[in-house]
Chains A and B, each alone.
Chain A
Amino acid sequence: MAVARVPVQLALPAPRPWWRGRAGLVVAVALGMLIAFLGWRNQLLWPATLTWNALAHHLDDFQTWLSNNRNVPHPSVFFRAFNGFADFLDHIVGWLTTFLFKLTWVGTTALGVLLVLRFGGRRAAFGVLAAFVSFAAMGLWEPSMRTFALTFASVSLSLAVGLPLGVLAGRSNRFRRAITPVLDAMQIIPAFAYLMPIVLLFSVGPGAAVVTTMIYSIPPAIRITALGIRSVPTNTVEAAAALGATRLQTLLKVQLPLARRLLLLAVNQTILFALSMVVIAGLIGGQGLGDVVTSGLYSNPALALLAGAAIVIMAIALDRATEAMAIRTDPAHRHLTEGRRRMLRLYTLACAAGVGLAVGLAHALGASSVWTRSTAQEWLLRQVQSALDYVQNPSTFVFHITNPVGNFIVEYGLTPLRSFFVETPWPAMTFGLALIAFLVSGLRPALVTLAMLALIGVTGEWTNAMDTASQVLVATVLTMIVGVPLGVWAAESARTRRVMRPVLDVLQTLPQLVYIIPFIYLMPVSIVPGVMASVLYASPVVIRLVEAGIREVSPHTVEAAGAFGATRLQTLLKVKIPLARDAIMLGVNQGMIMVLAVVVIGGLVGSGALGYDVAQGLQQSLFGQGVLASLAILALGTALDRVTQGRTRKRIEGLS
């Protein structure tokens, strides 16, 4: 018997029209901007009436006034205090350098190696020894010691400021809420942008280098310290309170000791952040390896690369040494007995005696303050130079890859985008970007974006800023093309992860400027080195964010998908990547900020735009213009951050 089948009418919800989806709207806004570009191309550039032309002169005058008032025979109290502070910063690096030189090269090596041997163990001490040997071999002993002194001074001062503030932020919610936006801003601003204001205040010299480094390395110190204080179990703090411990006793006896691991991580990260600023500090009078890199940029690129390698070696050695010392001295895991404690005290004494003996002997035998005898520098430089020559030679295999790639990027990426950004009518550009910020991130970010774009216009840097923005966009797209697949791959395969990790580690410790040098040779087309270097600089963080985002997807959800018969690809495309969307969006945001930081440094080697104005400000003392360009970089960074920050902002501590 056949049963008549009545087709069931299900009331399917009508598919959402495209203009209701956010992605559709963003595309629509972009199309509107494109139409404005095609229709009124080059007709509505930022009007001169909306530019404060005299600003640059005012800033120049301020600089003159400042230096005049500072250098009179009897400056006022304010300037005397300020000069004292600046002198102190200048001298502290000098004292440390002198101290290291007085120890002689033998004493310095003995101090470093024995200190790490005592507290960090044999492996870490061996790493330190290897670092010293490589400095000697590269013939870079003296600049290495100067860089170490600069880093040590900056790190000590950063910690002196950062640790107390971090403790405060860890204990007081109100203070943390107040300081978080400041820290966010400090981490968004590219380091290159605050060079000019600092030079304006401190003029070029070691002091300025220390301040620059501190601005960059204080935020992680504060953040990680606060995290450490907060991570102490509540019930332990409560137990101390219940026993009648005062707030100070709780801090000293409970919170600080139990936060030890993260406090030492804060020290470790502060060191690494400081070291990655060494090169930029070299631009404004920081002596040492950074100076070798920046001055060798044009005249001796092989030496600059060698110095870059020395910085990486120092970073790795310091990272491993501090990490090993942190672990080996942790009382919660060492379980020392009285007998062992006594043994260790003797060991400490022996090491101290060893250092003293080494210094004494070195002085008696007349060892020099730095290692200057036989080095392998000549040989190393020849190797590096021949590698550089090879990639640049039009008849080689490499050239046939890099040249077309570079040209392709310029022809189909940078040139059209540059003209789109620069030549689109400014109202369409400002309101278009603000509208996108509104759609992606919300009302407040949109208003901030609008204000920042207006600021750029007022400073008279509109064209340059739009030029920089086009470079940032191209580099960010390339970064995502590289970063997302690699991140997915690393998340899916443990082996890939293992292989990639050390590479990413090294890439993340390389100072920003060092990335650019090889590309000057690989792709010698004006803007391209800056863009490619920024891709390389930002990719590790994007890869890590994407990888972490995908690996954080709940295993139960993945298991459920598998139980329904989803293939690995289906699981990836329908479950993991959609659930990791926030992490990928954060990758775009962070990637863009990091790309901006390198793209503006590219101004030193022909990227033009905002970075060029800053470079000119630094090299030719065009202060006003440099400061305005810095301001524009700051504004552009903030605007780009707000456009891409999304609605749920998550900052991953210590990663960026």
Chain B
Amino acid sequence: MVDTAGSLGHDIDRSGVPLIRASGVWKIFGRHAARVIGTPDADLPRAELRMKHDCVAAVRDVSFEVWPGEVFVVMGLSGSGKSTLVRTLIRLIEPSAGDIQIDGKDVNALSRAGLLQLRRHTSSMVFQHFGLLAHRRVIDNVAFGLEVQGVAKAKRLARAAEVLELVGLEDCANQFPDQLSGGMQQRVGLARAFAVDPKVMLYDEPFSALDPLIRRDMQDEVCRLQLETGKTMVFITHDLPEALRLGDRIAIMRDGKIVQLGTPEELVGSPADDYVQNFTRDIPRSHVLTLRWIMREPQPGEEDGPQLDVRTTVRHAVPLIVGGERPVCAVEDGRVVGVVDREAVLTAIAGEND
């Protein structure tokens, strides 16, 4: 099952400046990184680059923006450079080149102290293998971010208890990580990231190590937390349904490059190349595409039919369109922009899995 974030209606603020702006980010592992960037060699395929310069290009010339309140998903197979990319954002891995701005600060220009401030107050991160401290209680784990900031013990434990309640783990505060299931451990990881009240949350494949059912629970949890707190998120995953469920916009990476960046329906509706199409082939189109993708120009006399928002997914429009006699009008900002009839819906559903 796929639900897109669009139907959840994240409150994205595109009026001001983006919270994260990355432009021309490169990461090349190896001693001769500087020699490669900016030359034609930088576009060589991986194997050749390794042969010629003995280095690996993990991220190549990546640019994107993330707006406040947005959930930005980076998707790609293993080795596509997505985890490296998210680490370069807060310089857990130093980028080889490029410009990164978070919350108005030039990350590359930050001093050590400035970088610590950024990591302590602006961003926080959730990891694939949780990265919990086995020798501390759950509540101490959650309070860890505040502890390294130097917050007094009573205060940070109170905040940790608050956040534990938010993720539904208030009964486990005094237990130890190894007494919890994998899903619960990752809730602790979530709580730890939330406890410092960051502006942006970075998720590095947080649910890849979990069972499918629990993964779904956790995705719901993230959706709920996002709705409740309105945090900006950068979410790394290799799972396309997960990307479609959570993301407002999705960047698909391959060999260190972004091959397509767009909303879920753009990826499914008009894949940029065969690679993206291969990915999206098994996705039920009616669950992702909105009326905008199947509507046609209204003919005279059709404009007073039943109305639906143009952002409604095809699946949700089915009962009204198939059950009713008249074509449905797609509305944007109170204005009818097109109509959808039974034939269009059936084509969209039947045309699936081509």
Contact = CB atoms under 8 A, between A and B. Distances in A.
Interface of A: 233, 235-246, 249, 253-254, 257-258, 260, 330-333, 335, 337-338
Contacts of A258: 133-135
Nearest to B176: A335
Contacts of B179: 335
A258 to B, nearest CB: 7
Nearest to B134: A332
Contacts of A260: 135
A332 B133 CA distance: 9
Nearest to A338: B174
Q: How large is the interface on B (under 10, 10 to 19, 20 to 34, 35 or more residues)?
A: 35 or more
Interface in B79-124: 87, 90, 92, 116-121, 123-124
Top 7 closest pairs, chain A to chain B, by CB: A244-B120, A239-B131, A244-B119, A242-B125, A332-B134, A243-B145, A235-B131
17 contacts: A233-B129, A235-B127, A236-B132, A239-B189, A240-B131, A240-B148, A243-B145, A243-B192, A244-B116, A244-B121, A244-B148, A254-B133, A260-B135, A331-B136, A332-B134, A332-B176, A335-B179
A243 B148 contact: yes
B148 A332 contact: no
A332 B140 CA distance: 13
Contact of A245 (B130, B148, B176, B192): B148
B128 interface: yes
Contacts, number: 82
B133 A236 contact: yes
Given A236-B132, A258-B134, A242 B148 contact: no
B90 A242 contact: yes
B175 interface: yes
Contacts of A332: 134-135, 176, 178
Contact of A331 (B125, B135, B148): B135
Nearest to B117: A244
B197 to A, nearest CB: 12
B149 interface: yes
Contacts of A233: 129, 131
B123 A335 contact: no
A241 B123 CA distance: 11
A235 B120 contact: no
A235 B130 contact: yes
B144 interface: yes
Contacts of B148: 240, 243-246, 249, 253
A254 B121 CA distance: 20
Contacts of B145: 243-244
B175 A241 contact: no
Contacts of B135: 257-258, 260, 330-332
A253 B202 CA distance: 22
B61 interface: no
Interface of B is mostly: mixed
A235 B186 CA distance: 13
B184 to A, nearest CB: 15
Nearest to B177: A332
A330 B135 CA distance: 8
Contacts of B129: 233, 235
A578 B124 CA distance: 51
A258 B136 CA distance: 10
Given A249-B148, A335-B175, A335-B179, A243 B120 contact: yes
Nearest to A334: B176
B127 to A, nearest CB: 5
B57 interface: no
A245 B146 CA distance: 10
A340 to B, nearest CB: 11
Interface in B162-182: 174-176, 178-179
Given A243-B120, A244-B119, 8 more contacts: A233-B131, A238-B92, A243-B144, A243-B145, A244-B116, A253-B148, A332-B135, A337-B174
A337 B139 CA distance: 13
B321 interface: no
A238 B125 CA distance: 9
A368 B130 CA distance: 58
Contacts of A245: 148
B126 to A, nearest CB: 9
B147 interface: yes
**Which of B124, B128, B134, B202 gathers the greatest number of chain A CB atoms within 10 Å?**
B134
Nearest to B146: A243
B223 interface: no
A426 to B, nearest CB: 46
Nearest to A241: B92
Nearest to B131: A239
B267 interface: no
B196 interface: yes
Nearest to B132: A236
A288 B132 CA distance: 47
Contacts of B136: 257, 331
A239 B142 CA distance: 12
Contacts of B147: 253
Nearest to B91: A241
B248 to A, nearest CB: 23
Contacts of A253: 133, 144, 147-148
A511 to B, nearest CB: 36
Contacts of A254: 133
B121 to A, nearest CB: 8
A249 B119 CA distance: 14
A358 B121 CA distance: 55
A228 to B, nearest CB: 13
Nearest to A260: B135
A337 B147 CA distance: 21
